[in-house]
Amino acid sequence: MIVCKSPGRWDAMIHARSAFRHEHQVAVGEGGTLYTDRVTYAAMGGAPLEWLLVNAYMRRIFQARHRNMLRLLS
């Protein structure tokens, strides 16, 4: 895993053994902090597998993360 850190920019975690990149951005937002995730990936098996399995799985993971961040930051 490679982590790149630059103040005010995207911090990237690149998983060397997979086609997965997870980036974070934390910035001052109107009325609080804006925390943004950007995820790019390519599933082994191509677009049909992504559509059938991976996209829904990733959506559930980040919905749970969003709920946890709201709980932790409230």
Per residue in 29-58, pLDDT tens? 788 777 788 888 777 788 888 888 888 888
Q: How high is the pLDDT of residue 2?
A: 45
What value does the mean pLDDT of the chain take?
A: 76
Q: How high is the pLDDT of residue 64?
A: 92
The answer to whether residues 53 and 36 belong to one domain is no
How far separated are the first and last CA of the chain, in Å rounded? 31
pLDDT above 90 covers a percentage of the chain that reads: 5
The answer to whether residues 36 and 53 belong to one domain is no
Range of the domain at 28: 1-41
Please give the tally of structural domains in the chain: 2
The answer to whether residues 4 and 28 belong to one domain is yes
Residue 43, helix vs strand vs coil: coil
Q: How high is the pLDDT of residue 7?
A: 55
Assigned token pair, 18: 């997979």
Average pLDDT rounded to a whole number, residues 10-34: 71
The answer to whether residues 47 and 70 belong to one domain is yes
The answer to whether residues 33 and 52 belong to one domain is no
pTM, two decimals, is 0.55
The answer to whether residues 37 and 54 belong to one domain is no
The answer to whether residues 25 and 61 belong to one domain is no
